[in-house]
Structure 1
Amino acid sequence: MKRDFISVEQLSVEEIYKVMNLAEYYRLEDIHLNNGYFVANLFFEPSTRTKMSFVVAERRLGLEVLDFHAEASSVLKGESLYDTAKTFEAIGANMLVIRHEADDWYEELQNKLSIPIINAGAGKQEHPTQCMLDLLTIYQEFHTFEGLKICIVGDIRHSRVARSNANALKRLGADVSLCAAPGFEDASLDFPYMTIDEAADKCNVLMLLRIQHERHEYQSETTNYLEQYGLTKCRERRMKPNAIIMHPAPINRNVEIDTDLVECERSRIFKQMNNGVYIRMATMMYLFKEWGMTNESLTNKWQTFATI
């Protein structure tokens, strides 16, 4: 991991496994930095799971949380992302967690701050901590990525989750395919496409995506989406015996997935959310270590459990 955590592409395969191992360690052990560190969560887009799991992760680590609401901030007066970030740095934040609607928001801050940054979502481009928690969920299930058939299904064109996950899974040895309704494809991603019926028949993991209406130029029609392109109960019955269902949420029930399948035996949707807390703990601790902001005792523990 480099100066900031902006993309899983920054991580080597070995580092991906280290972060996952640390997440599993933090699931079992209480870790407190006790350094009086402040973390600012700068979310310029709505969020439930990502923001709240960062808050829980921060508090589990003993960090002070600086909250931020764009709709009640100087952003409404025209303040730039850079000036907002510099403000939090100036008042004593030791780390920034940022979600922003721009695909390239990080370029505005690159090499201009003296504190670490974590990307909590960048437009349609990247969602690295979601990717890491998805990788952990799959690894818990299959104990490998090599040769797994994984299909990412849904609004590929507008999904930062699809982009982050497809590239990371390919590097880890998975056989990745995409599935999308007409107009939802993304030609910039070099992966084969299959139909939803083929995906249900052949894959070990179906990773469903929400239709992201807020990123569409025009409202998309979803009346028959479930029957034509979504995971129905009929398609679920054809899945392999050990195949699992994933979804980064929020879920449009009875659109991309039949509501009865959201908590079915195959579903790992709420397990993904649980894993998000521990992955985000691990990510923050990894960055603190990289910046020399952890004490020797915690660094020794990091060295031990990151190699398990």
Structure 2
Amino acid sequence: MTARHLLSIAEFGAAGVQRVLDLTDHMVAVNQRPNPKVPALRGRTVCNLFFEDSTRTRLSFETAAKRLSADVMTFSVGSSSVNKGESLRDTIETVAAMGVDAFVIRHRSSGAPWQVTRWTEASIINGGDGWHAHPTQALLDAYTVRGALGRGGAGTTFDGVRVAIVGDIKHSRVARSNVEVFCALGADVTLVAPRTLLPPELPTGVEVTSDLDAVIDEIDVLYLLRMQNERISDAGAPKGAMGTLVPTIREYSARFALTPERARRLGEHALVMHPGPMNRGVEIQVDPAELPGALITRQVANGVAVRMAVLFDLLAGPTTTMTGLVSEEATA
């Protein structure tokens, strides 16, 4: 049974995660065709409502919807009635009246996508809400690790895989969703950060350390996070400053960045990931292109296929099978 919304990994559930990962294999096959398009969502309309800046997520969803032959509406806050005082509810109800089957929503307020489900019958996909969740980023990260480790197929598990998520955990919605997805798949997760950049309530079942050097030799996946300057400012610190969270950026980098020395200590099999955008010289001081295990560009590429799978999962009719669509030439 498919879900109606994708709001968080926890609510989507382990079965939903497995379903989307398996569907993504079919979407990758579509994207490898000379004409990477299928008529799976012809007649459906997807609206991207991004109240925060975005490059990867917004373009990825636009591409994903078009490759499934959906009509795409993109909402630009800068030229909308939001600047005249229109509320989120009025915006949703206005756009929904034009005939929308799914909204992809990014908002600076945690919980906004859950609120929106009360105001429309359309499916809601959380494209990132405040510090809280970014479920499609977590799904594409899980799919990327699955492929890199050769753990594909039904019933995928990450048993025995050691994942270290390093950096600004406190303000990162990516970190929260990745903890949920990696733990749901059976990985051993360690959070690596100074105490000031850890959330007040730590997730169940994860290890925590402030010593990256103590774990760097043993990990299978090194997941680097940038310092979330804009969300730190939202929390009351001076804009563009770290406030009292870290003494200096130089000291933070010395303790938590992937330096050339730490890169040499990584195992030959170790994977290096980052959700982007990277702050070169802060959390990463080496050129990712020189790291054999770097998956950063593969994450971006997989984002289109994963978001195609999510849209298909939520919007395709019960009689539509992805296997059949992939095997036929699109008429879209």
TM-score for the superposition, normalised by structure 1: 0.92
Question: Alignment length, in residue pairs?
Answer: 299
- How big is each residue's C-alpha offset from its partner over 1:19-66, in whole Å with a ceiling of 9 and x where there is no partner? 111111111124223632221100000001000111111111111111
Question: Over aligned residues, Cα RMSD in angstroms?
Answer: 1.9
Secondary structure of 2:103 counterpart: strand
Whether the 8 Å contact between 2:167 and 2:224 is mirrored in structure 1 is yes
Give, in whole Å, the separation in 2 of the partners of 1:198 and 1:224: 17
**Closer, same or farther: CA 295–254 of 1 in aligned 2, 3 Å:** same
Give, in whole Å, the separation in 1 of the partners of 2:176 and 2:299: 18
Give the Å deviation of 1:299.
6.6
1:116 aligns with 2:123: yes
Residue of structure 1 equivalent to 2:21: 20
Give, in whole Å, the separation in 2 of the partners of 1:12 and 1:120: 17
Sequence identity (%): 37
Question: Which letter maps to 2:301?
Answer: N
Residue of structure 2 equivalent to 1:63: 70
1:202 aligns with 2:218: yes
Give, in whole Å, the separation in 2 of the partners of 1:135 and 1:167: 11
Residue of structure 2 equivalent to 1:42: 49
Secondary structure of 2:208 counterpart: coil
Residue of structure 2 equivalent to 1:162: 175
Give, in whole Å, the separation in 2 of the partners of 1:174 and 1:132: 14
Whether the 8 Å contact between 2:127 and 2:136 is mirrored in structure 1 is yes
Whether the 8 Å contact between 2:168 and 2:225 is mirrored in structure 1 is yes
Gaps of 5+ in 1: none
**Closer, same or farther: CA 125–34 of 1 in aligned 2, 3 Å:** closer
**Closer, same or farther: CA 169–295 of 1 in aligned 2, 3 Å:** closer
2:308 to 270, 274, 281: 281
Secondary structure of 2:196 counterpart: coil
Whether the 8 Å contact between 2:8 and 2:134 is mirrored in structure 1 is yes
> 1:38-187 alignment to 2 at 5 Å?
38-142=45-149, 143=151, 144-187=157-200
1:249 to 260, 271, 276: 276
Whether the 8 Å contact between 1:204 and 1:244 is mirrored in structure 2 is yes
Moved over 3 A (4+): 297-302
2:296 to 266, 269, 278: 269
Give, in whole Å, the separation in 1 of the partners of 2:290 and 2:66: 28
Secondary structure of 1:167 counterpart: helix
Question: Which letter maps to 2:280?
Answer: R
Gaps of 5+ in 2: 31-36, 152-156, 243-247, 328-332
Secondary structure of 1:270 counterpart: helix
Question: Which letter maps to 1:169?
Answer: F
**Closer, same or farther: CA 34–286 of 1 in aligned 2, 3 Å:** closer
Give, in whole Å, the separation in 2 of the partners of 1:224 and 1:62: 49
Give, in whole Å, the separation in 2 of the partners of 1:242 and 1:62: 38
TM-score for the superposition, normalised by structure 2: 0.85
Question: Which letter maps to 2:105?
Answer: I
